[in-house]
């Protein structure tokens, strides 16, 4: 399976778009829960580390943050877990696909 797709737009040889197939496959409910939990947890931890790095070494910082993205991810994780747990699969698999799109923005 090819994990990447590179599209070159008409601006010389500069790569303007890159796609990475992060998740693609069929999974049991348990596997799907594990994958989604792991991916969302990494993103939550990324935001927490970003927040920490902004104040590190600055004793004057008031430690006021916009936690909206972290709260949104925690809520989305809970909603996804609730949704997956409510499914009756009857031996069928769940198909999950996730692609990361990277482009240059002016």
Whole-prediction pTM = 0.75
Q: So where are the chain's domains? A: 4-56+67-103
| pLDDT for residue 10 | 45
Mean pLDDT, range 56-75, rounded to an integer: 79
Quick one: pLDDT band at residue 33, thresholds 50, 70, 90? very high
Distances (CA, A) of 77 to 8, 24, 67, 92: 34, 19, 15, 22
Q: How far is CA 102 from the centre of its chain?
A: 13
pLDDT-derived band at 35 (thresholds 50, 70, 90) equals very high
Average pLDDT over residues 46-72: 79
Lowest mean pLDDT among 6-15, 78-87, 91-100: 6-15
């Amino acid at each position: 399976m090819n994990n990447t797709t590179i599209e070159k737009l008409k601006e010389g040889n500069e790569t303007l778009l890159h796609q990475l197939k992060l998740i693609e496959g069929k999974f049991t409910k348990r596997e799907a829960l594990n994958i989604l939990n792991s991916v969302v947890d990494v993103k939550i931890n990324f935001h927490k580390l970003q927040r920490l790095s902004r104040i590190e070494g600055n004793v004057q910082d008031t430690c006021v943050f916009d936690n909206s993205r972290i709260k949104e991810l925690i809520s989305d994780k809970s909603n996804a877990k609730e949704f997956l747990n409510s499914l009756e699969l009857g031996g069928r698999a769940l198909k999950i696909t996730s692609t990361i799109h990277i482009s240059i923005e002016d």
